[in-house]
Amino acid sequence: MALIVQKFGGTSVGSPERIEQVAQKVAKFHAAGDDIVVVVSAMSGETNRLLALAKELSNKPSLREMDVMIATGEQVTIALLAIALNKIGVPAVSFTGAQVPIVTDSEHGKARILTIDEAKVQAQLQAGKVVVVAGFQGVDEQGNITTLGRGGSDTTAVALAAALKADECHIYTDVDGVYTTDPRVVSRAQRLDRITFEEMLEMASLGSKILQLRSVEFAGKYNVPLRVLHSFKEGPGTLISTEISTDKNEDSMEQPIISGIAFNRDEAKLTIRGVPDTPGVAFKILGPISAANIDIDMIVQNVAQDNTTDFTFTVGNLDYDKAFEILQATAQEIGAGQVAGTTSIAKVSIVGVGMRSHPGVASSMFEALAKENINLQMISTSEIKISVVIDEKYVELAVRALHTAFGLDAEQN
């Protein structure tokens, strides 16, 4: 018997029929003797409908009242799922975030979980019931309803799993696991049986949309094994845990060096030329960018013989215009030359813990891209990741070439 936390997103509970399908899936685990806690999102489209209602009344509604309103979406879903479970003979009880309680700070719209009192949930599990908990929400120490922001239901599920010391946390999505890369780009992409928290964090931060970054960070911190599964198709999914299995019966020689390839088209590059090569100049350039709440990703600095430097960095596409304007003002202030930029770039990254013990991975990557005549504009490395910036029009060619070069292609029948 295991204690499992299961999370279903908005599309999985988007209609009464789908809620009944979820209830049947949960019932199978309950019948097998497992203790089950289910975390659900609002039905798909419901949060947007509520936001539209608020906009009809005010362009700047109170964040506190917005949380009170938006939290009702999940409240509807938990009640419906509990009704569906009880209907098929599975005893179930629903809890809002405040009823658990899941205590958060007071940052409305983007609250962070502080503590979870698991006593009520444990008592209901011991009574043989499935506990259905509203995702995405909590309550602050003053009793105000709060919401956790984007990806909040994933975070709720992982936090509950940590508090309950669950054996696994199942995240149900519209895909049947984590793949070596996007199957829409590489038809021979493979589902991974296992992946480490480290690798999944890199994949999530580099463009993979399977799991919210915050929930992976939380799972890694509290060592909660995550399993990504398809909402309505049977299968083992992908297990995300501390380490790849070291079972002696497994042939470790078959473990790939690279676990996956991520890519992100939402990148822009900025260059400020002729920068005086003096101490503190990097701060003078990047300080105003950071002060404008713009995230900086990759950075390259090239020093010329005339004691000037070209300073290049990347930001998100949406921040490009704002960053360009700031950089032009900085160039005048520090006596630099021309400011140039482009949004026609993409970042392609290879990720794998196997890099730590296998030299030559970078050269293999560069060789594969060179064979396709793909020019590398920027390079960034870490222990388990190598990222390159290339022309956006070559991104799919690059991903396919690297997928093949590192032996990730599935065998065709």
pLDDT score recorded for residue 277: 86
pLDDT grade, residue 3 (50/70/90)?
A: very high
- 5's tokens: 């936390």
Contact 214, 260 (CB under 8 A): no
The burial class, CB within 10 Å (0-12 / 13-18 / 19+), for 70 is buried
Provide the mean pLDDT of the chain. 91
Asked whether residue 306 carries a pLDDT value surpassing 90, the answer given is no
The stretch 124-129 carries a mean pLDDT of 98
pLDDT score recorded for residue 211: 77
pLDDT grade, residue 210 (50/70/90)?
A: confident
Give me the percent of the chain exceeding a pLDDT of 90: 79
pLDDT grade, residue 1 (50/70/90)?
A: confident
What is the pTM assigned to this prediction? 0.81
pLDDT score recorded for residue 352: 92
**Which CATH architecture does the domain made up of 260-405 adopt?**
2-Layer Sandwich (3.30)
- Comparing 240 with 174, the larger pLDDT belongs to 240
* DSSP string covering 148-167: --TTHHHHHHHHHHHHHT-S
Rounded Cα–Cα distance for residues 269 and 271 (Å): 7
**pLDDT tens digits along 84-117:** 999 999 999 999 999 999 999 999 999 999 999 9
pLDDT grade, residue 251 (50/70/90)?
A: very low
- Extract the annotated binding site for substrate: 47, 74
**pLDDT tens digits along 49-77:** 999 999 999 999 999 999 999 999 999 99
What torsion, rounded to 10 degrees, do the Cα atoms 348, 149, 218, 72 define? -130
Paired with 38 in beta bridges are: 6, 132
pLDDT score recorded for residue 248: 37
The strand pair at 35-40 and 102-104 is best described as unpaired
**What top-level class would CATH report for the domain 3-173?**
alpha beta
Q: What is the CA radius of gyration of the chain?
A: 24
pLDDT score recorded for residue 243: 66
pLDDT score recorded for residue 190: 92
Helices (H), 113-263: 119-126, 152-164, 197-205, 213-222
- For residue 32, give the 3-state DSSP assignment: coil
pLDDT grade, residue 218 (50/70/90)?
A: confident
Residue 401 has phi, psi (to 5 degrees) of -65, -45
Asked whether residue 209 carries a pLDDT value surpassing 90, the answer given is no
**pLDDT tens digits along 260-280:** 999 999 999 999 999 988 889
- Extract the annotated binding site for ATP: 7-10, 173-174, 179, 184
Asked whether residue 138 carries a pLDDT value surpassing 80, the answer given is yes
- For residue 371, give the 3-state DSSP assignment: helix
- Comparing 102 with 211, the larger pLDDT belongs to 102
Distance of CA 324 to the CA centre of its chain: 28
Rounded Cα–Cα distance for residues 262 and 256 (Å): 16
Nearest to 404 by CA among 264, 263, 256: 256
The stretch 323-333 carries a mean pLDDT of 95
Nearest to 38 by CA among 22, 16, 18: 22
**pLDDT tens digits along 366-410:** 999 999 999 999 999 988 999 999 999 999 999 999 999 999 998
The strand pair at 260-276 and 137-139 is best described as unpaired
pLDDT score recorded for residue 111: 94
pLDDT score recorded for residue 208: 67
- Extract the annotated binding site: 7-10, 47, 74, 173-174, 179, 184
> Which sequence spans correspond to the domains of the chain?
3-173, 260-405
Q: How far apart are the first and last CA of the chain?
A: 38
Question: Could you give the C-alpha distances from 171 to 41, 48, 101, 157, in angstroms and in order?
Answer: 12, 22, 22, 8
The stretch 333-348 carries a mean pLDDT of 94
Rounded Cα–Cα distance for residues 189 and 42 (Å): 31
The strand pair at 137-139 and 92-95 is best described as unpaired
pLDDT score recorded for residue 242: 84
Asked whether residue 250 carries a pLDDT value surpassing 70, the answer given is no
